[in-house]
Amino acid sequence: MLISKTAPRKTLFWKIARHLAAIVAIVLLGGLLSATLVRLAPGFDSDERELDPGLSAESVRALRQSRAGEHNILRYYSGYLRAAWHGDLGTSHALGQPVQSLLRERWPVTLRVAGVGLLLAWLLALLLAFTACLWRVPVYEMMGITLSGAFLCIPAAVLALLSVILNAPGYLAIALIVFPKIYRYSRSLLAKAYELPHITAARARGLGEMRVLARHVLPVAGPQMIALAGVTVSIALGASIPIEALCGLPGIGQLAWQAALSRDLPLLVNLTVLVTLVTLLANSGADVMNYVLQPRDV
């Protein structure tokens, strides 16, 4: 792939700045949206702890007082942003721990599981897609399509259950969820690239298959594959919920599931903001990388 030496730095700076501004705006809006949803949820005012007969009237009053700030959405959200600016992300109602420490504890697990899963999925998908394009054996292509089609039909939660039954690691389940999307998209991109006239001409002139792939096919299909890499981060993060919840992995996905079941407002808002941020950063990173790697006329 051609690495541009002439990518105008000023344009690149503005591109990154635009992406960052969009990320900040979307994250703020997403957080406000989720805070609004949770605030409007039925039963928002109730707290299970108030039902504890061992609590005195004063303790119940203190409990209600502690939640009073959450009643006005805008006040709650502006308070949250102010505190977040100083590094305080609030306390989880259900787990009774600071959200920041929960995220610090859980994030590395998700990062490892989703990261290894993504890596495996990309390796498997690209290997199958490239070899299918190089060999062009119908049976082999059919095998790839059937395999990816089968995994597309299985819910992520079922793959998690199957990995528990088969004693398989959680990252393998993530890999199998992400693999069909990468395989189908990259296979179609490569097939389209191979149909281009200049690539047919290069092959007809006797250029080696690997050389055709590296010098002519990849520069055509590469940008869209990089964009797909950003999207797969979002898919892997989404899949981490059932995988971590059912495989007993203490990551962000399991935390989101626990927060959903116990309707934990501060935790849900923080997780929403965090996941949105990671997804947007991955997509923007892919976009900027595409821009940097784009070949330009000198």
Stretch of residues binding other proteins (CB under 8 A), selected from 127-135, 203-211, 230-238, 287-295:
230-238
Compute the C-alpha angle 157/163/164, nearest 5°.
95
Q: What is the DSSP letter of 87?
A: T
**Contact pick of 261, 292, 295, 296 for other proteins (by CB under 8 A):** 261
Query: How many other C-beta atoms can be found within 10 angstroms of the C-beta atom of residue 159?
Result: 23
Nearer to other proteins, 222 or 253 (CB): 253
Q: Which two tokens stand for residue 148?
A: 């990816």
Q: How far is the CB of 39 from other proteins (least distance, A)?
A: 9
For 273, how many CA atoms within 13 A lie in the half-sphere containing its CB?
23
Task: CB nearer to other proteins: give 30 or 222.
Answer: 30
* CA–CA gap between residue 158 and residue 62 (Å, rounded): 43
What three-state secondary structure class fits 21?
Answer: helix
CA distance 80 to 89: 7
- Figure out which of the listed residues 121, 182, 235, 255 binds other proteins, where binding follows CB under 8 A: 235
33 binds other proteins (CB under 8 A): yes
Q: Pick from 207, 260, 289, 293: which binds other proteins (CB under 8 A)?
A: 260
Q: Are 259 and 274 in contact (CB under 8 A)?
A: no
d(CA 236, CA 186): 17
Closer to other proteins by Cβ: residue 42 or 96? 42
Q: In terms of CB distance, is 117 or 238 closer to other proteins?
A: 238
Q: List the x/- string, 151-190, binding to other proteins by CB under 8 A.
A: -xxxxxxx--xx-xx-------------------------
For the CB of residue 70, give the shortest distance to other proteins in the complex, in Å. Answer: 13
In one-letter notation, the amino acid at residue 185 is Y
Query: Angle at the Cα of 264 (from 259 to 268), degrees rounded to 5?
Result: 65
Min CB(29)–other proteins separation in Å: 6
| Strand-pair partners of 98 | 91
2 or 81: whose CB is closer to other proteins? 81
**Closest CB to other proteins among residues 42, 87:** 42
Cβ atoms of residues 178 and 282 within 8 Å: no
What is the closest distance, in whole angstroms, from the C-beta atom of residue 213 to other proteins in the complex? 27
Interface of this chain with other proteins, residues 89 to 148, rule: CB under 8 A: none
Q: Are 251 and 106 in contact (CB under 8 A)?
A: yes
Binding site for other proteins (CB under 8 A): 26, 29-30, 33-34, 37-38, 40-43, 149-150, 152-158, 161-162, 164-165, 234-235, 237-239, 241-242, 245-246, 256-257, 259-261, 263, 268, 271-272, 275-276, 279-280, 283
